Structure 1
Amino acid sequence: MAPSQNTNSLVKEGIVGFALGAVGGCALGATVSPVNKAMTAIISGPILKPFTDGVRTVGPLGLGTLVGATALTTSMTTAIAGVTVAASVALLLIRLKKSRTRAALPGFKWVAAGVAAALSTTSCGAVLGVIIETLVLRSGVVALLWAIGIFTVLKTFIHVLVQLTCSTCECSGILQHAAEAQKHEEMKLGALEAKHRDRVTVEIEHRITACESKIEFEGEAGLEYRIAWKAQQQEWKEAEKLQKEALELAVQQRTIQERLTKVVTKYVEFLGFSGIPMTVTAAVTAGFGIFGFGDYRFVFVVLLALVICMAFMLMRSMHLNFWMFIACLGMFATFATAVLTVHAGQEAMDMSLRMRKAGEVLSKENITAWMDHRASLEAIAAGFFMSKMCQVGLGASVGGPLDPKVLDKVIVGASVSTVVLLSIIEYLSLVLGLGGVSGALLGAVGAAGVSLGAAAAVAVQWSSWAGTISTTAGMLIGALAIGQWDIVNTGLQVLIAYMFAMINPY
């Protein structure tokens, strides 16, 4: 009988795990076509010309670092906006004194927080996308350098402001908690005194009654007395139980508020400091190109040395945490985008030289234009790819550490949010423009990352390998079936979701 029950349990885990993994995978696959469509529109539209001109201004490495830093900064900012808005909405709803509403809809605040996160992430991405498109079309790629620098200073100011605000709220919360604790102690002491007085009164009455008539006490009056005494004891127990439940509820709400406040401060810290290494890398590399020192080998050596030094400084920091880890990853992703940009230009030059040796007439201007064109295409494609990986990872870092009891609801809710966001973006594509659509799609990718991260957490928490393998298979099959049959990219995104889902950023 035991082997049969074990087999049934394995089959059930496999079916449920595959279904949940498929839902998360389908959410990721649904974002593939819209993102590819937006990238195709960029590389085939008028916005490509400023990038091609930017290669001549800042060099291929400078263009790669600028595009990489801009894409990753936008992706990180949209993810942080969603998380902080969700935590702020949850805090606001918890602190509301409408207890009847909370009792009627206990999960309303979390649903509202999820909806607010999805909308804020999408809106933030759309706004940043429109700003980037306007800057590039009006002032060229070099304007991105100034925009990134100003935004970095602004994020640091926001971090300081939020730190001061949270410190003030924490102090007021501590004082309020102390007042509530003192009030509760006073109520408890009052209840104990009343209980003691009632007990003394009952004992006195009992002695008087016993002295007056022992026989009467042992008869019907004694029975009534015992019944009244038990009823009074039951009332005392119920009062103590209610007081205990009220205290536990207050402690639970206090703990949730502290955690949400910590989430806000941590993510604003992430917003303020994670983009600094990328900004420094882009500024140094683009600066060499602007001042005429954009030679590939020389700038590449400087860029490589700069990235290694900053990574070493971050890793050696005494306060190394999740945010510095993300900063290092973003910096290396920016470096990878720059290398791919240069590699595309070198491939174009090699192809041109082979064509000239084969007898085709190609001028030096045509070769240079072809190199710049290929470098621009690769920079945009690499920027899209890196930003998508970043959104999937950050989304998984949100969905993975959640309470295991609600992971199935998170998977389904985030998947539904992804589909709804994609529909809204498609409907508003003419209003948002190309840049707005590209930025808004990051919000949908982030929602898909939340679903994928929750599915990865479910896969790890199964009691057997059957549940883990079936959930992973569901993630892969769902993403491949709904999206494109690109096994390498899909497998890489699932791997990133697993890695970030296992990291607790708090």
Structure 2
Amino acid sequence: MAHSKHGAQSPLMEAAVGFALGAVGGCILGATEDPVDQSLSVMTSAGPLKPVMEEVRTVGPLGLGTLIGSTALTTAMTSVVAGVILAALTASVFVTTRSCGASQINTVSLWVSAGLAGAIGTTMSGATFGFFVEWIVKTYGMVGLLWALSVFAVLKPQLHFVFKLLWKQGEACCTLGSAGWAREREQIEIKESQQRHRVTLQIEQQILTLEKEGDVSGIQDRTMWDVERRQREELKRRKTESEEAEMEQRSIQDWINTVVIKFVDFMAFSGIPMTVVTIVTSLFGVFGFGRHPIVIIVLLALVAIIGYLLLKSNDFKFWMLVGCLGMFTTFVVAMLTLHASQTVVLKAMKMEAKGFNQSRSDISTRINIQSSLEALNAGFFVARVFQLGLGATVGGPLVRHGVGEGRVIVGAALVAGGLLVGVEVLEPVLGEGGKAGALLGVVGAAGVSAGAAAALAGTWSSWCGTVATFAGLVMGAFTLGKWHFVNIGLQLPVAYIFALTNPF
């Protein structure tokens, strides 16, 4: 940490600033806990749970677990990508429209505009996906959701191609817009040439005057040369400012392009592994093998083969990493769902051994209830953790890129807080599924703040700043999170690990 740009500050000041900024990131993360838990409670109540329970018989516990897990993760991943792309588009337009002058780009306005666009885009995308998932489940059941997930997985590579084509066209527009810099340079060069020509003529005139009349230099000549010197310095200053502004624009635009390419690849391909696992497992259930042990064997083999092929790739990319994580997480949700159904069976066997006979219908109903509850709880939790992690993946690099840790942490926290209030106000319009998806988007915005705080901890020149930042992050998260030790205790390490990840 010795190379930190904060090294000029005293350890005590580093600790104070680090604790304050860490507390901001932790507080907004903790503030999302209760609303998200309340939304999950509504989703797992009797009414919304009924259509999910009815489909356990169709796809089986494993199929239900993989289907809900992959749907929740797809919603989380896609909403984050939508937010990042909207933020990148806003930043790109902002940079391009201010490329015609030689003044420095207003970076504060740039990142504020991009941050607002990204957070709103993520939240609205999550709400839209949540609404449509709820509608599909209520109208067509889990088989309809399976079809929708499959079609979306097939369409994403095509959307990937179309978006890259459109983005290249946008880059061409940005190139045309940057012609302003060329005009600016040309104008400055013309003025420099005119000044050199004028000075040359003045020197020649002075030489002729000296040859004819002798030494006539005086205060008027000195004043004239002072004016010329000031004009020359002004032209040099304008030229330097123009070059620096152009370099800054190109640097920001290149970084934006890199981010967009990485996240578009991530959107198109990261969901394929878990979608394949979901389709295979669910089809076993549709054809009547939902509870057969062979499904577990096939599921394990499929996860192992796909994970091996991705992890051994020589050109390992960010989408492969997240794709493997999503697939393994879907597998965990499926196993938890299966375990919940097996727990009901074991309890029924114990009760029967004690002489309490139960009908097969009652046992089957309890199996469906427990499987559905476990699938929804586990699926929603992993989606929240993924959303947080992906938000931290944005916040961490922003701090390292030099955007400004205070701007990122405080700005993302304020935006997330505003969105949290907005989601609560719009709850009647959004519906249960829309509100759940929107809250996942808010968690992503909170993840940007928490991830930026985690990344900030590694930039201090002393351990005092690092420890104080982590302490503020933990205290803020637990205090406003009403001491949800399990939830926050799992989310904070995820935010830290993803904040250190550099997908760009």
> TM over 0.5: same fold?
yes
CA contact (8 A) 1:74 1:125 kept: yes
Summarize deviations over 1:429-461 as a string: whole Å, max 9, x none: 122111111111111101110110011011111
CA contact (8 A) 1:425 1:440 kept: yes
Structure 1 counterpart of 2:409? 411
One of 359, 362, 369 as aligned partner of 1:363? 359
Give 5+ residue unaligned stretches, structure 1.
Answer: 1-5
Structure 1 residues 443, 181: closer, same or farther in 2, change over 3 A? closer
Q: What is the count of residue pairs matched by the alignment?
A: 494
Distance in 2 separating the partners of 1:114 and 1:175? 26
CA contact (8 A) 2:127 2:434 kept: yes
Structure 1 residues 93, 428: closer, same or farther in 2, change over 3 A? same
Structure 2 counterpart of 1:3? none
Structure 1 counterpart of 2:4? none
Distance in 2 separating the partners of 1:12 and 1:382? 42
Structure 1 residues 265, 235: closer, same or farther in 2, change over 3 A? same
Structure 1 counterpart of 2:39? 38
Structure 1 counterpart of 2:285? 289
Please state whether the residue corresponding to 1:157 is helix, strand or coil: helix
Displacement of 1:503 in angstroms is 1.3
Structure 1 residues 450, 96: closer, same or farther in 2, change over 3 A? same
1:194 paired to 2:186: no
Displacement of 1:337 in angstroms is 0.5
Displacement of 1:9 in angstroms is 2.2
Structure 1 residues 346, 469: closer, same or farther in 2, change over 3 A? same
Displacement of 1:207 in angstroms is 1.4
Distance in 1 separating the partners of 2:394 and 2:262? 13
Structure 1 residues 176, 79: closer, same or farther in 2, change over 3 A? closer
Query: Which amino acid letter does the alignment assign opposite residue 452 of structure 1?
Result: A
Structure 2 counterpart of 1:213? 213
Structure 1 counterpart of 2:234? 238
One of 457, 473, 476 as aligned partner of 2:455? 457
Distance in 2 separating the partners of 1:440 and 1:408? 25
Distance in 2 separating the partners of 1:411 and 1:258? 24
One of 488, 491, 498 as aligned partner of 1:490? 488
Query: Which amino acid letter does the alignment assign opposite residue 203 of structure 1?
Result: I
Structure 1 residues 505, 61: closer, same or farther in 2, change over 3 A? same
Displacement of 1:297 in angstroms is 2.1
Please state whether the residue corresponding to 2:55 is helix, strand or coil: helix
Distance in 1 separating the partners of 2:266 and 2:99? 33
CA contact (8 A) 2:188 2:235 kept: no
Residues 152-301 of structure 1 mapped to structure 2, 5 A cutoff: 152-171=153-172, 173-174=174-175, 186-187=186-187, 190-191=190-191, 193-214=193-214, 216-217=215-216, 221-301=217-297
Query: Which amino acid letter does the alignment assign opposite residue 471 of structure 1?
Result: T
CA contact (8 A) 2:105 2:249 kept: no
Summarize deviations over 1:61-110 as a string: whole Å, max 9, x none: 1111000000000000111111111111122222226979x989663332
Structure 2 counterpart of 1:340? 336
Give 5+ residue unaligned stretches, structure 2.
Answer: 1-6
Structure 2 counterpart of 1:421? 419
Displacement of 1:185 in angstroms is 6.5
Residues 14-53 of structure 1 mapped to structure 2, 5 A cutoff: 14-53=15-54
Structure 2 counterpart of 1:144? 145
Query: Which amino acid letter does the alignment assign opposite residue 302 of structure 1?
Result: V
Structure 2 counterpart of 1:71? 72
Summarize deviations over 1:465-497 as a string: whole Å, max 9, x none: 111111111111111111132323312211111
Distance in 1 separating the partners of 2:157 and 2:425? 35
Query: Which amino acid letter does the alignment assign opposite residue 294 of structure 1?
Result: G
One of 397, 407, 410 as aligned partner of 2:393? 397
TM-score (norm 2): 0.92
CA contact (8 A) 2:61 2:291 kept: no
Distance in 1 separating the partners of 2:478 and 2:443? 15
Structure 2 counterpart of 1:349? 345
Distance in 1 separating the partners of 2:181 and 2:420? 48
Displacement of 1:163 in angstroms is 1.1
Pick which of 313-322 and 73-82 moved more: 313-322
Please state whether the residue corresponding to 1:107 is helix, strand or coil: helix
CA contact (8 A) 1:80 1:268 kept: yes
Structure 1 residues 110, 372: closer, same or farther in 2, change over 3 A? same
Structure 2 counterpart of 1:503? 501
CA contact (8 A) 2:69 2:330 kept: yes
Pick which of 283-292 and 111-120 moved more: 111-120
Structure 1 counterpart of 2:82? 81
CA contact (8 A) 1:166 1:265 kept: no
Structure 1 counterpart of 2:60? 59
Displacement of 1:271 in angstroms is 1.1
Identity of aligned residues (%): 43
Query: Which amino acid letter does the alignment assign opposite residue 494 of structure 1?
Result: L
TM-score (norm 1): 0.92
Displacement of 1:182 in angstroms is 6.1
Query: Which amino acid letter does the alignment assign opposite residue 140 of structure 1?
Result: G
Distance in 2 separating the partners of 1:459 and 1:60? 43
Structure 1 counterpart of 2:14? 13
One of 303, 307, 312 as aligned partner of 1:307? 303
CA contact (8 A) 1:61 1:296 kept: no
Distance in 2 separating the partners of 1:222 and 1:46? 97
Structure 1 counterpart of 2:3? none
